[in-house]
Amino acid sequence: MTESERPTRRRSRSRRRRRARLRRALLGALVVGSLLLTTGGWIGFRGWQARAHLLNAAGLARELSAQVVGGDTDRALRTLAALQEQSGAARAATTDPSWRLGRHTPIAGDDLDAVRRIAVAIDQLARQAFPTLLRTDLTSLVPVGGRVNLARLTAVSAELAQVEESVQRTRKDLAAVPTDSLVSQIRQALTDLRAEIDRLASLTAAADQGARLLPPLLGANGPRRYLLVSQNLAELRATGGMFGAYAMLEAENGAVKMGKQGSSASLGRFTPALKLPSEIRALWTDLPGIYPADVNLSPHFPTAAALYREMFRRSTGTTVDGVLAVDPVVLSYLLKATGPVLVPGGVPLASEKVVQTLLNDSYQRLNVKQQDDFFAASAASVFDAFFKKNVNPRALLSAFDRAITERRILFWSARPEEQRTFGESRMAGTLPEQDTVPTVGVFLNDGSGAKLGYYLRPTANLTVGECRPDGRRELRLRVTLRSTAPKSGLSESVLGLGLAGDPYTARTLVSIFSPAGGAVVEARLDGVETALGSGTERRRHAATTSIDVAPGAEKVLEATVLTAKTGVGQAELWLTPTANPWITQVHSAPSCDQ
């Protein structure tokens, strides 16, 4: 080989080695790419399967809920079996090695992990919570023959505690799933599931609390006495309506009977005023401590109940163990389960007409003494039907669930250890000092001295707005009050004191409560800036304005509200329960860190 040929051969071998390395690299890339495409395709196929199973499971879960409430146990068991099959298939579709590998990829990993957790959550509920709930004898929670079986109730309590533990565990697992980087469809699915589980958790928590608390509340350890007060929604107060009629409930060994009845007016006027929290006095002067009808100008029910109990003690010499508040809308829900009842005197009370009968017709045709007698007789008739009729227990529980969700049934125990168990549940009517989700309160108090609240039609819209540099979030509130009152023909009992000038004009004090740690910064009435009375209650800024609504007219109140420092894009409304339910809408927004 000549000297000139050697470099040529070396360059040739070098080119062959480079081509060989390139072929190996290309082959390796092709293999890896093929694997990735195969895995991605497999994940896509499994994702499609999981989605189909999850959609089926969601539909079955809704069917199961309706069947449980309706008491159709046989169909519910078949639905549960189908639900377990679909939820199990969804869980299996998200557990294979390719899915586990995909969960660690930088682009789709969070989405795949979220879908996996959603599938696990539904499957856990289908296999742990729902079967126990179907086996639970819910008849133990309602009276039969005027008595609740406390021994059976204690047994049910253990089962409900298991359901509550399972639901809360699932709820906690889903709450830990980060949502910021999820695609919109999965984020929305997770948000919807969280909302459904939050509702389920509130139901199971209430049932668990009820099963644990009912035995002592119903006199398992000795006689108990409570005041049952009716909130008159025709004359609005922050928790619902003026405390009108009352009745004594006496409980012992699971049996409950109704005792003395009367009206708040019979308790008199208290001077000097009962001691009030300084925040409430600053907002409402001494009124809640003077008049039984004004104890609930504040939305914090424990304060109102404690004041009313003390007024009752001073007036009658009787000390009760707690206060239970309901309104005529609650009676309409119960009458749907019990069927119509006949009030002495031949007046029937039916679900469809009881609100109109109690809040309007009675004021039109009866004098004050007759009204008090009719309210007392109506309460006794519904009470007897509830305790003595053979009623579908699930229908009754459904009625109670709806009433508690709408904050129409409120209870306060004078025993601190029992009251702590209720915590900040809706039934406790506690105005929380902290928020998990920013909550705006809109509370109504009658300023007319009349019974025109029956004619109000309220709406509320809350929109989550801008994220501010100081870490707060802006909320935009719009409240509309419309009056359907006639321009003539109402009785003196309905028109009352006519403090708005025109006796047919409804004057309403509207209080806007900010989220905990927040503030109400401005308000406009029909587009014109309006003055606000200002104060604070339980770490919430309270701003109040007076609104007069003439018959057939409407007024629009708009307000800008700030939260405390928060990044969340959700918000909630807490509203005074009214005779005609609010029409509401809450518009959420992306979180501030998205």
* Residue 594: pLDDT band with limits 50, 70, 90: low
Sign of the dihedral through C-alpha 434, 436, 438, 443: negative
Average pLDDT over residues 74-98: 80
Max Cα–Cα distance, the chain, nearest Å: 132
pLDDT per position as a tens digit, 245-257: 899 999 999 888 8
pLDDT at 138: 65
More confident call, 506 vs 381: 506
**Rounded mean pLDDT of the chain?**
84
pLDDT at 284: 97
pTM: 0.80
DSSP for 299-340, written as a single string:
S-HHHHHHHHHHHHHHHHS---SEEEEE-HHHHHHHHHHH--
DSSP 176: T
Q: Which residues pair with 464 in a beta bridge?
A: 475
Give backbone dihedrals phi and psi of 564, rounded to 5 degrees, phi first: -75, -175
pLDDT at 13: 57
Q: What gap in Å lies between CA 571 and CA 136, rounded to an integer? A: 35
C-alpha dihedral, 422 to 426 to 432 to 434, nearest 10° = 100
Average pLDDT over residues 81-91: 83
Cα 382 to Cα 298, 337, 387, 405: the distances in Å are: 29, 11, 9, 21
What's the one-letter identity of residue 460?
Answer: A
More confident call, 449 vs 120: 449
Do residues 330 and 396 make contact, with C-beta atoms less than 8 angstroms apart? no
DSSP for 355-372, written as a single string:
HHIIIIIHHHH--HHHHH
pLDDT at 34: 30
Do residues 533 and 544 make contact, with C-beta atoms less than 8 angstroms apart? yes
